[in-house]
Amino acid sequence: MGIIIKPIITEKQTQITDKKSNCVGFYVSPSADKLEIRTAVSGLYDVSVLRVNTMNYDGKRKSRYNKLKVMKGKRVALKKAIVILSKGETIDFFSGNIK
């Protein structure tokens, strides 16, 4: 499994990217550290990374009712990385220019 799972394309993240064009968000593997994230982003998108901020999210607990019992489970834990690129560099997710 790779380090970068998928980019964050939500309304909130899009507003942040509109204000700061060099700020990009990714969902990453929970075991990845900041150096691994930096090298993965710079290698995949050909950009230079200034800083990486990370946030850990625990999996949400879910339950559903069956005929006989309540089935309990948990969603997968995620890590969110906000990557700040060098001045003047951007990543366009919709153009399809990925190595």
Q: What would the pLDDT profile of 24-79 be if each residue is shown by its tens digit?
A: 999 999 999 999 999 999 999 899 999 999 999 998 999 999 889 999 999 989 99
Residue position matching structure tokens 């700040």: 84
Q: Does residue 94 contact residue 36 with C-beta atoms inside 8 Å? A: no
Does residue 54 belong to any structural domain of this protein?
A: yes
Does some domain include residue 27?
A: yes
Residue 15 inside a domain? The answer is yes
Total number of domains in the chain: 1
Asked, for residue 26, whether it belongs to a domain, the answer is yes
Domain annotation covers residue 11? yes
Residue 91 resides in a domain: no
pLDDT at 95 over 80: no
Question: Rounded CA gap, 15 and 96, in Å?
Answer: 21
CB-based contact 85:50 (threshold 8 Å): yes
CATH number of the domain residue 58 falls in: 3.30.70.330
In a domain, 97, yes or no: no
Residue 94 lies in a domain: no
Q: Which domain holds residue 58?
A: 4-85
